[in-house]
Amino acid sequence: MKIKEAKFLKSSANYEKCPPANLPEVAFIGRSNVGKSSLINMLTGIKNMAKTSSTPGKTQLINHFIVDDKWYLVDLPGYGFAKVPLSEKAKWEKMTWDYLLNRVNLMYVFVLIDMRIPPQKIDLDFVKKLGQSDIPIKIIFTKADKVKTLEGQKNINAFREALTADWAIIPEYFITSAERRTGKVELLGLLGEIFEADI
């Protein structure tokens, strides 16, 4: 699919305050700094639409972007940012899981995984919980430009191997670089399948 127009709609502190669930949406989640906001900008082709930062913890609310007046892209805060106080972490966790478990128009969650590093427990646990909650997911490996191809592939294989413990069918995955626009065509194709089938 082609995205003609995308614009920021709203930041919400909890799922009850999100825009009406009258259009379908996909959400981007993953560890702090993994590249969620950058990927959203890469997909829409609008450089600073979702705010990015080299400092983890930039995105703190549920951010809705509306695409072609037909569907929403949702940028979520990252998990696993060590420097956040425990009370903040608990707040984040409640906000995110309330959203993930209750948002009725949520079609897919895209879980972003940094392909520069071997599988991390925090990511595997998060993906496992999504599976146990029957939330449909796709895996998106990020920062492909920052890792040697063989090493990146090794990390991806190890992650997929780790998923076999909990998943009968491993979720589909994509390799991306927001820097080089790697995976853009493939992801837009996927979004086309998700939304054009639904609309």
Strand, helix or coil at 112?
strand
The answer to the question of residue 57 lying near ligand GTP (CB under 6 A) is: yes
Q: Which two tokens stand for residue 130?
A: 């999504």
Which of 45/164 has CB closer to ligand GTP?
A: 45
Tell whether residue 146 is a contact of ligand GTP (CB under 6 A): yes
What does the buried/exposed string (b/e) look like for 108-126 if buried means 16 or more CB atoms within 10 Å of the residue's CB?
A: bbbbbbbbbbebeeebbeb
Pairwise CA distance, residues 63 & 146, whole Å: 27
Structure tokens at 132: 């146990």
Residue from 6, 29, 31, 37 binding Mg ion (CB under 5 A): 37
Minimum CB separation of residue 190 from Mg ion in Å reads 20
Give kind and range of the element (H or E) at residue 111: strand 106-114
| Residue 173 structure tokens | 């995955």
Min CB(41)–ligand GTP separation in Å: 8
Task: For residue 64, state whether it binds ligand GTP (rule: CB under 6 A).
Answer: no
Site string for ligand GTP, 151-190 (x = CB under 6 A): --------------------------xxx-----------
* β-bridge pairing 62-67 and 71-75: antiparallel
- Residue 74, interface with ligand GTP (CB under 6 A)? no
88 binding ligand GTP? (CB under 6 A): no
In the complex, the residues that contact Mg ion under the rule CB under 5 A are 36-37, 58-59
